[in-house]
Chain A
Amino acid sequence: MASKLAIARLSKSFGDLEALRGISLTVERGEFISVVGPSGCGKTTFLRIVAGLEHASSGEVLLDGRVVRRPGTDRGFVFQNDSLLPWRTVLANAIIGREVAGSIGAADRKRTMELLKLVGLEGFEHYHPRQLSGGMRQRVNLARALAIDPEILLMDEPFAALDAQTREIMQTELLRIWERGKKTVLFVTHHIDEAVFLSDRVLVFARRPGRLQAEVKIPLPRPRTLDIKRTPEFVALVDRIWRMIEDDVRAAALYENA
Chain B
Amino acid sequence: MSVTSESAKTVSPPESRPAEPVAAPQLGGMLRPRFFAAILSVAGGLVLWELISWFVVNNALFLAAPSQIAVATYHLAVTGELWKHIKISAEEFALGYAIASVLGIAIGFAMASGDTMKKALQPWVSGLNATPTIALAPLFILWLGIGIWSKVLVVIFFVLFGVAINTEAGLRTTSERLIEMLRSFGATPRQIFFKVSLPSAVPSILAGLKLGIGRGLVGVVIAEFFGSRAGLGRLISQSADAFNMPELFAGVVVLAIAGIVMTAGFGWLEKRLVPWTKD
Give which listed residue, A87, A96, A101, A132, contacts B19 with CB less than 8 A: A132
Is A22 engaged at the interface, CB distance under 8 Å to the other chain? no
Chain A residues with Cβ below 8 Å from B276 are 86-87, 128-130
**A36 and B274 alpha carbons, distance in the complex (Å):** 40
Q: Is the beta-carbon distance between B8 and A87 smaller than 8 angstroms?
A: no
**Pair B18/A71 contact, Cβ less than 8 Å:** no
- Report the bound CA distance from A123 to B18 in whole Å: 10
Specify which chain A residues have a CB less than 8 angstroms from the CB of B8 in the assembled complex: 168-169, 172, 226
Asked if B177 and A101 sit within 8 Å, CB to CB, the answer is no
A198 to B187, CA, bound (A): 31
Q: How large is the interface on B (under 10, 10 to 19, 20 to 34, 35 or more residues)?
A: 35 or more
Q: Contact at A53–B180, with CB atoms within 8 Å?
A: yes
Cβ A71 vs Cβ B185 within 8 A: yes
- The B contact surface, by secondary structure, is helix
Flag the segment in A1-9, A107-115, A133-141, A210-218 that touches B.
A133-141
Cross-chain contact A136 with B15 (CB below 8 angstroms) = yes
Q: How far is the CA of A130 from the CA of B276 in the complex (A)?
A: 7
Output the nearest chain A residue to B275 by Cβ-Cβ distance.
A128
Cβ of A135 and Cβ of B4 under 8 Å apart?
no
User: Are A72 and B5 in contact, CB atoms less than 8 angstroms apart?
Assistant: no
B183, A136: Cβ atoms under 8 Å?
no
Q: Size of chain A's interface in residues, with CB distance under 8 A?
A: 45
**Interchain CB contact under 8 A, A131 and B19:** yes
B178 closest partner in A (C-beta): A83
Q: Quote the shortest CB–CB distance from A99 to chain B (angstroms).
A: 8
Contact call B184/A130, Cβ cutoff below 8 A: no
CB of B19 to closest CB in A, whole Å: 5
Interface string of A70-111 (1 = CB under 8 A from B): 111101010101010111000000001101110000000000
Known: A101-B185, A168-B3. 13 other contacts (CB 8 A): A71-B185, A72-B186, A83-B178, A87-B274, A96-B195, A97-B185, A127-B18, A128-B22, A131-B20, A131-B21, A135-B13, A136-B18, A166-B15
Show 22 A/B contacts (Cβ-Cβ < 8 Å), sorted by A: A51-B184, A53-B184, A70-B186, A71-B183, A71-B186, A73-B185, A73-B186, A75-B184, A87-B199, A99-B195, A100-B191, A120-B16, A129-B276, A130-B22, A131-B19, A132-B19, A134-B15, A165-B1, A168-B2, A168-B8, A225-B5, A226-B8
Binding site for A on B (CB under 8 A): 1-5, 8, 13-22, 177-178, 180-187, 191, 195-196, 199-200, 274-276, 279
Interface residues of A (CB under 8 A from B): 51-53, 70-73, 75, 77, 79, 81, 83, 85-87, 96-97, 99-101, 120, 123-124, 127-136, 148, 162, 164-166, 168-169, 172, 225-227, 229
